Amino acid sequence: MPSQIAGSPPDAPSGAPSPLPDPAFAAALRFNEAGLIPAVAQDWLDGAVLMVAWMNREALECSLATGEVHYWSRSRQELWHKGASSGHYQKLRGLRYDCDADVLLLSVEQVGEVACHTGARSCFYDQGPSPSGGGPGAAPPPADACTELMRVIEARRDQPEPGSYTNKLLEGGDNRILKKIGEECAEFVMACKDGDPSEIAGEAADLVFHLQVALAHHGVGWRQVQAVLAARRGAPRRE
């Protein structure tokens, strides 16, 4: 069975109703014997997996009706409005189900950037032999390649490493960084003129890297850029 997108993400302020899915949507889902289905919450900008919880039909309907994610608490046996006590709400931006129709994928805007009850951004922070306590200092979850690259650049900025090319750029400030961006722009243009896809991709990667160094130098996060791009999606066409 092909995956589906349920309804459209709410554009109105939090709490405003969004359309319920077609009745066939819920009918297509394969809830388990307890009437539950696992739901994976994924960040709407960088794709990071934030948490996994359970939903029943009521939680699904409440999420779609309010635009804020609701789950079903198995321990308390009650509907759970994510963030109701902590303030860390999840605004629903999109919803799909997998090829077997037995797992939901929620695209969410995590208010406060904290999804885990420990205070970590994501519940998926451990990779060592022993579980840790999580918390605000926990390792960030894996994300898209550009986000991961920006993390490395910011780490070099905050904790310089001898011989690092990134640190050489940062030490040179705008003069060195912007000169390199100009050079990389020219090389990207020439690659496009030559029409070699692999060269174009390589030069584009170089350009993105140097752009991110400039962003880090000026204290602008990659997530800020992603948010601007997301806000422009569906905006009125430019003349």
pLDDT in tens, 12-68: 333 333 344 555 677 889 999 999 999 999 999 999 999 999 999 999 999 988 999
Q: Give the mean pLDDT of the chain.
A: 90
Q: What is the pLDDT of residue 82?
A: 97
Which segments of the chain are extended strands (E)?
37-43, 49-55, 70-73, 78-81, 90-97, 104-110
Confidence of residue 176 (pLDDT cuts 50, 70, 90): very high
Go through the chain and tell me how many residues it has.
Answer: 239
Q: What is the pLDDT of residue 15?
A: 38
Spatial separation of the C-alpha atoms in residues 236 and 15, rounded to whole Å: 25
Spatial separation of the C-alpha atoms in residues 72 and 221, rounded to whole Å: 34
Spatial separation of the C-alpha atoms in residues 236 and 174, rounded to whole Å: 34
Domain 145-232 listed as CATH 1.10.287.1080: yes
Residue type, 14: S
φ/ψ of residue 71, rounded to 5: -125, 175
Domain 23-113 fold: Ubiquitin-like (UB roll) (3.10.20)
Cβ pair 55, 104 in contact under 8 A: yes
**Could you state, in order of their start, the residue ranges of all structural domains in the chain?**
23-113, 145-232
> Is residue 34 helix, strand or coil?
coil
Q: What is the pLDDT of residue 207?
A: 98
Q: What is the pLDDT of residue 26?
A: 79
Once rounded to an integer, what is the mean pLDDT over residues 153-174? 97
Q: What is the pLDDT of residue 22?
A: 57
Residue type, 96: R
Spatial separation of the C-alpha atoms in residues 38 and 24, rounded to whole Å: 19
Residue 117 pLDDT exceeds 50: yes
Q: What is the pLDDT of residue 25?
A: 75
Q: What is the pLDDT of residue 27?
A: 82
